[in-house]
Amino acid sequence: IDSDMVRVLPGLRLKLGESWNIESAYLYTRVSSMDNGQNYLSTTALTSALNDTNPATALNPLSAPNQQNPATINSLKVRTTRQGVYNFWEYDIRASGNTIDLPAGPVSLGIGGSTRWESLSDTPDSLSAANLIVSQGGNPKSSGSRDSDAIYWESYLPLVSPQRNLPGVYSLQLQGAGRFEYYSDFGTTVKP
């Protein structure tokens, strides 16, 4: 199997004020692979050789290996190929920082979003696709693609800090997060 991969990931990071950070990136990946097989047996050639009535060219599974015609054995062999291609790109942007200061510390917020697209194709040779290779169940050509979008948030609310010296409570925070996603192949989902 020979595979080639290209991956590009440029990004940008900005700092705004004392605590806010904004990041954005673009990702592109392409993987191309070629699976080359050899010495597989052709179903058609095997059937023909087993049904051949000429003793010089027929395949006789009950005879010793050195008594088979080498040209007959070689006529059964075929090469197979299977090519796969995967493409993926994604763009995202996110920001995080402090919003307001409370006695226990700053309230932090993170927000972001992303969009992505991916596709996959798997293309076998014509003999494999037609189920004409011995011991293979047939490999039909397949392909597909989908895209998705997401938005998300996370917040941090400090209620009690270690500096307050409350008996029995070292620190106490409240955190929340959520994610909304849309997929072109099945719809939407919300994750708390």
**DSSP letter (8 states) at residue 74:** H
Q: Which pLDDT does position 139 carry in this prediction?
A: 78
Residue 2's Cβ-count burial label (10 Å; 0-12, 13-18, 19+) is: exposed
Q: Which pLDDT does position 165 carry in this prediction?
A: 79
Question: What's the rounded Cα separation, in Å, for the pair 70 and 111?
Answer: 69
Whether the per-residue pLDDT at 138 is higher than 80: the answer is no
Q: Which pLDDT does position 58 carry in this prediction?
A: 92
Question: What's the rounded Cα separation, in Å, for the pair 82 and 121?
Answer: 10
Reported as a single tens digit per residue, the pLDDT across 26-53 is 999 999 999 999 999 999 999 999 999 9
* 96 contacts 153 by C-beta, under 8 angstroms: no
Count of residues in the chain: 192
Whether the per-residue pLDDT at 62 is higher than 90: the answer is no
* Across 102-127, average pLDDT: 95
Task: Annotate 5-72 with three-state secondary structure.
Answer: EEEECCEEEEEECCCEEEEEEEEEEEEEEEEEEEEEEEHHHHHHHHHCCCCCCCCCCCCCHHHCCHHH
Mean of the per-residue pLDDT values of the chain: 93
- pTM to 2 decimal places: 0.75
Give the DSSP per-residue string, 73-121: HHHHEEEEEEEEEEEEEEEEEEEEEEEEEETTEEEEEEEEEEEEEEEEE
* 31 contacts 2 by C-beta, under 8 angstroms: no
Tokens of 67: 């008594």
Q: Which pLDDT does position 68 carry in this prediction?
A: 87
More confident position, 65 or 125: 125
Whether the per-residue pLDDT at 167 is higher than 90: the answer is no
